[in-house]
């Protein structure tokens, strides 16, 4: 069953189309990675899933519910079932790692005793291998450790869905691959449905059950990592190779892997 369904989602900002008919389903328990260049609307897509942005046209269904039909209260309740790892980690600098991870519990789980909160925080820090940094401040730990701490906070409410915005950005290759492993492991430990957005191809291939490519406001290819590797679409092939020459530089280009061809996604 699909946990997240985007149906023909359109979104423009000041008349400029960013999403021009995104259609995509993320199945229960899978890790799907959306790849695409910077500025293509990956973060905008994630924001639609937690209802921070509403589509101009089309529908977003999460847990089977159309987000546009939810009351404010229902939307807030739904967000509690979604963990969101923000691009920068978004830790509060004046709180320790443990205090950062405890924040959602302090805000939403008033029935818990301090000792219970401390125990849950330790469990989550153990999952991301950050127990030793329990009492450190964000400025005292590396970028990779900040991502780990951010992930511990994202999973502290036991979300059924985890969204990751560029989990490896700003990390060196060694740290990036340990974060990739952690994303895989988090799925095994939590059983959550995971949606990752990234422009890091190496990361996408090591994390994904399926990869979807966002280009000019639409999903132009979806498949397993092997299928995407063999995709003949020149846009997809160029992006995977990281080749400076190809259709992407020119903006527009022919497409072969899309289910629909001859579209006018680029029309204003």
Ligand X SMILES: Nc1ncnc2c1ncn2[C@@H]1O[C@H](COP(=O)(O)OP(=O)(O)O)[C@@H](O)[C@H]1O
Binding site for Mg ion (CB under 5 A): 42-43
Rounded to an integer, what distance in angstroms lies between the CA atom of residue 71 and that of residue 91? 29
Stretch that binds ligand X, among 41-49, 99-107, 133-141, 175-183 (CB under 6 A): 41-49
Binding at 20: pick from Mg ion, ligand X, none (beta carbon under 5-8 Å per type): none
The closest of 54, 113, 115, 124 to 85, measured between CA atoms, is 124
Nearest to 62 by CA among 39, 46, 43: 46
Closest approach, Cβ 265 to ligand X, in A, equals 15
In a 10 Å sphere around its CB, with 0-12 CB exposed, 13-18 middle and 19+ buried, how is residue 170 labelled?
middle
In this chain, which residue has its C-beta nearest to Mg ion?
Answer: 43
Q: Choose which of 25, 43, 123, 178 interacts with ligand X (CB under 6 A).
A: 43
Name the one range near ligand X by CB under 6 A: 20-28, 33-41, 59-67, 118-126: 33-41
Whole-angstrom Cα distance, residue 24 to residue 211?
A: 11
**Closest distance to ligand X from the beta carbon of 53 (Å):** 7
Complex with ligand X: residue 15 or 254, whichever CB lies closer: 15
The residue (of 42 and 79) whose beta carbon lies closer to Mg ion is: 42
User: Footprint of ligand X on residues 56-75 (CB under 6 A)?
Assistant: none
Answer whether 22's CB lies under 8 Å from 9's CB: yes
Which of 39, 132 has the CB closer to ligand X? Answer: 39
Tell me the C-alpha to C-alpha distance, in Å, between residue 124 and each of 120, 149, 153, 183, 207: 6, 9, 8, 14, 20
Give the separation between CA 194 and CA 167, rounded to whole angstroms: 12
> Could you say whether residue 38 binds ligand X (CB under 6 A)?
yes
Residues 7-26 that bind ligand X (CB under 6 A): 13, 18
- The binding site for ligand X (CB under 6 A) comprises 13, 18, 36, 38-44
């Amino acid at each position: 069953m699909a946990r997240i369904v985007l149906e023909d989602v359109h979104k423009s900002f000041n008349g400029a189309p960013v999403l021009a008919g995104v259609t995509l389903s993320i199945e229960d328990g899978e890790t799907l990675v959306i790849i695409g260049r910077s500025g293509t609307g990956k973060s905008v897509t994630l924001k639609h899933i937690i209802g921070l942005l509403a589509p101009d046209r089309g529908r977003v269904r999460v847990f089977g519910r159309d987000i546009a039909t939810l009351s404010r209260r229902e939307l807030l309740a739904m967000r509690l079932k979604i963990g969101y790892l923000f691009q920068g980690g978004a830790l509060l600098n004046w709180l320790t790692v443990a205090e950062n991870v405890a924040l959602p519990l302090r805000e939403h789980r008033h029935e818990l005793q301090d000792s219970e909160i401390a125990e849950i925080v330790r469990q989550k820090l153990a999952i991301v291998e950050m127990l030793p940094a329990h009492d450190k401040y964000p400025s005292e730990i590396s970028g990779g450790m900040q991502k780990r701490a951010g992930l511990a906070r994202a999973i502290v409410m036991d979300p059924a869905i985890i969204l990751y915005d560029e989990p490896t950005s700003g990390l060196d290759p060694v740290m990036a691959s340990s974060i990739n492993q952690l994303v895989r492991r988090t799925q095994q430990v939590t059983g959550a449905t995971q949606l990752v957005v990234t422009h890091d191809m190496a990361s996408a291939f090591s994390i994904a059950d399926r990869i979807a490519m966002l280009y000019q406001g639409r999903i132009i290819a979806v498949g397993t990592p092997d299928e995407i590797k063999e995709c003949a679409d020149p846009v997809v092939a160029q992006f995977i190779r990281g080749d400076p020459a190809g259709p992407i530089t020119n903006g527009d280009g022919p497409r072969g892997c899309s289910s629909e061809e001859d579209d006018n996604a680029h029309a204003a």
